Amino acid sequence: MEDTSARIPIHQWAQDDQPREKLMNKGKEALSDAELIAILLRSGSISQSAVELGRSLLQKVDHNLIALSKLSIDDLMRHKGIGEAKALSIIAALELGMRRRQAEVPVRKTVSSSRDAFDLLYTSVADCLYEEFWVLLLNHANRRISVEQISEGGQAGTVVDPKKIFKLALEQNAAGIILCHNHPSGNLNPSTADRNLTDKIKNAGNFLDIKVLDHLIIADESYYSFADNGLM
């Protein structure tokens, strides 16, 4: 049977099914991702309601909100029914969500595992379309001093200057560091270049008495830890 709901304006739906009223009456947890997007869109297109437009946009990214957050304004506007205003609303909402997650991480959290490091580093590289290299600086108690970007490159890699890493570490009196970069391809396996770079930075750290504790490769919501896999 053909679904005709896309042709029925949302204001003609049963009140409990209208996204804004549903949010008011039942709370945010009651809404689907498509309904939440519909509230951001405010209106649909000639052929689709706002909810249907939200559904079709989610289908484009296989219902993966992380993939949706990686789309640019131009990417979103290529989707039929999404103009500049709608695209900007979506990007702004997803960015607020990311900043909220960053705000939830305790600034002085003690890092005692690769998972602790991942929690502090994830938001820095989660939505990156290209490879970026970051470093987590720690004090003598293994508490975060800062998270710093070292370099950014293309989808295949990025150039890393170890001198920049240790300049930052010395300036901020770091006792230890954790390296991190993302793989936009989604492949978590370290390359030969990743291993060689890690060894090079670790050896430099030994000379300067700054411990290189781990190197994380992050892809989507997963990570690979050099330390956990005996590579440190």
Count of residues in the chain:
232
How high is the pLDDT of residue 3? 44
**More confident site: 180 or 185:** 180
131 touches 156 (CB < 8 A): yes
How high is the pLDDT of residue 186? 86
**More confident site: 94 or 138:** 138
How high is the pLDDT of residue 37? 93
* Total-model pTM: 0.64
User: Residue 182 pLDDT > 90, yes or no?
Assistant: yes
Name the helix (H) or strand (E) containing 29.
none
**More confident site: 44 or 5:** 44
The upper half-sphere exposure of residue 210, i.e. CA atoms within 13 Å in the direction of its Cβ, equals 27
Q: What is the pLDDT of residues 202-225, one digit of tens each?
A: 999 999 999 999 999 999 889 999
Give domain limits for the chain.
Answer: 5-102, 106-225
CA distances from 34 to 18, 54, 64, 74, 226 (A): 12, 5, 12, 20, 38
User: Residue 14 pLDDT > 60, yes or no?
Assistant: no
Q: What is the pLDDT of residues 111-170, one digit of tens each?
A: 999 999 999 999 888 777 789 999 999 999 999 999 999 998 865 568 899 999 999 999
How high is the pLDDT of residue 43? 87
User: Residue 184 pLDDT > 70, yes or no?
Assistant: yes
- Name the residue with tokens 């000379």: 207
CATH superfamily of the 106-225 domain: Cytidine Deaminase, domain 2 (3.40.140.10)
Q: What is the pLDDT of residues 24-62, one digit of tens each?
A: 888 888 889 999 999 999 888 888 888 999 999 999 988
Q: How far apart are CA 217 and CA 183, in angstroms?
A: 7
Q: How far apart are CA 31 and CA 45, in angstroms?
A: 21
User: Residue 95 pLDDT > 90, yes or no?
Assistant: no
**Secondary structure, 3-state, 100-140:** HHHHHCCCCCECCCHHHHHHHHHHHHCCCCCCEEEEEEECC
Q: Look up residue 172 and give its two tokens.
A: 């901020």
Sign of CA dihedral 36, 39, 45, 48: positive
How high is the pLDDT of residue 20? 86
120 touches 111 (CB < 8 A): yes
